[in-house]
Amino acid sequence: MKLNQKFLNVFRALFMIGILLFAFYYSYLNLDSFYMLFKVDYRAFLVMLASALFFLYASAVQNAILIHAFGAPISNFESFGLTNVSSFFNLFLPQGATLTKAVYLKQKYGVPYSKSPALFLGLLIVFLIIGAGILFITNLSVLLMGNHVPTIFWVITFCALASGLLFGVEFPKESILRFGKIGQLMSNFSDGWKSLRMNTSCLVKACAWQVVIFLSSGIWVATAYYSLGIKINPLLGVSISLFASFVNLVVIIPGNFGVQEIVYGYFTILSGMLFSQGVVVSVLIRGIGLLVTLVLAPISWYFLFYNQGIRIETTDRG
């Protein structure tokens, strides 16, 4: 197991180095496209910044709603700070956001690590089902407007909905526990999801805030295109941001650097523009997110972790 983990870490490091080298080479070959970043209008920049902040706040409120279901009285402001710190660690560690939140909730509110998977499963199911619903609506709207919808958007819509429904199915515990540690983890997921599912008010609020999260992300993406002189249908902005979010569920390297850029480049080609333009849009979106994280994360860390003596360690598995 240790050998496999060591091999995985080496592979990720080499893959990351390869991605960075290719990124520098690609940027050099497409300097003209990247010069567009220096022409971003300050008003568009402010709209993107406001969208990014609202996106983070909506995510924090949604997290707080589900955390309350486990008996932890976390405030929206506190959850906002925790989201900022989690975003920072997610830049360097695969699943860094998940680990950071789990450690904080354990040390501050005594929420056992065994309950954390249920929280993130609840978020995942809401994310997939609401995302599939919004994608279906945006796809249908684009069709009714006489525009073409890429086939992959329909495929992703179906897969997201099917995955969300599959995760929400309750399997017999006796059958699950036969799979050892994996079975125990799946059992924890199932028990936690069952308790969340019974809290109708909690789920309705979480779903409502998920809609807000997707819409704010769509505005962020559409404004990024507009700021570079690329006019796209705002509904397409929502669809692209949703697809990028689905892709980022599978973290290959911290931050999925390069993967997001490929997604934006691909869908920009489908819209009749250059691949490099999509990459520049992705860099702009990533840059805004990084700026917000680097400014807010240290402040949030000081008040939530340093000031309260909370350390990122997971030696206690209780």
Highest-confidence segment of 21-30, 189-198, 203-212: 203-212
- Residues 247-293 pLDDT 10s: 777 766 666 677 788 888 887 787 777 788 888 888 899 899 999 99
Question: Which of 234, 217, 213 lies closest to 285, judged by CA?
Answer: 217
Contact predicate 100/82, CB 8 Å: yes
Polymer length in residues for the chain: 318
- Residues 86-99 pLDDT 10s: 989 888 776 778 88
Question: Structure pTM?
Answer: 0.81
Residue reference for tokens 């680097």: 294
Q: How confident is the model at residue 317 (pLDDT cuts 50, 70, 90)?
A: very low
Predicted confidence at residue 202, as pLDDT, reads 83
Q: Is the pLDDT of residue 42 over 60?
A: yes
Predicted confidence at residue 171, as pLDDT, reads 56
Q: CA 162, CA 165: separation in Å to the nearest integer?
A: 5
- Residues 222-240 pLDDT 10s: 999 888 888 887 887 888 8
Q: How confident is the model at residue 62 (pLDDT cuts 50, 70, 90)?
A: very high
The DSSP secondary structure of the chain, one letter per residue, reads -HHHHHHHHHHHHHHHHHHHHHHHHHHHHTHHHHGGGGG--HHHHHHHHHHHHHHHHHHHHHHHHHHHTTT----HHHHHHHHHHHHHHHTTSTTHHHHHHHHHHHHHH---GGGHHHHHHHHHHHHHHHHHHHHHHHHHHHHHTT----HHHHHHHHHHHHHHHHHT----HHHHGGGHHHHHHHHHHHHHHHHHHT-HHHHHHHHHHHHHHHHHHHHHHHHHHHHTT----HHHHHHHHHHHHHHTTS-SSGGGTTHHHHHHHHHHHHTTS-HHHHHHHHHHHHHHHHHHHHHHHHHHHIIIIITTT---------
pLDDT above 90 as % of the chain: 19
Q: CA 4, CA 7: separation in Å to the nearest integer?
A: 5
Predicted confidence at residue 314, as pLDDT, reads 47
Predicted confidence at residue 51, as pLDDT, reads 93
Q: CA 288, CA 265: separation in Å to the nearest integer?
A: 18
Average predicted confidence (pLDDT) for the chain:
80
Name the amino acid, one letter, at 71.
G
Q: Is the pLDDT of residue 81 over 90?
A: yes
- Residues 111-168 pLDDT 10s: 887 777 777 777 888 888 888 889 888 888 878 877 777 787 788 888 888 877 666 5
- Residues 297-306 pLDDT 10s: 999 999 988 8
Q: Is the pLDDT of residue 11 over 80?
A: no
Predicted confidence at residue 188, as pLDDT, reads 61
Contacts of residue 298, Cβ cutoff 8 Å, sequence gap at least 6? none
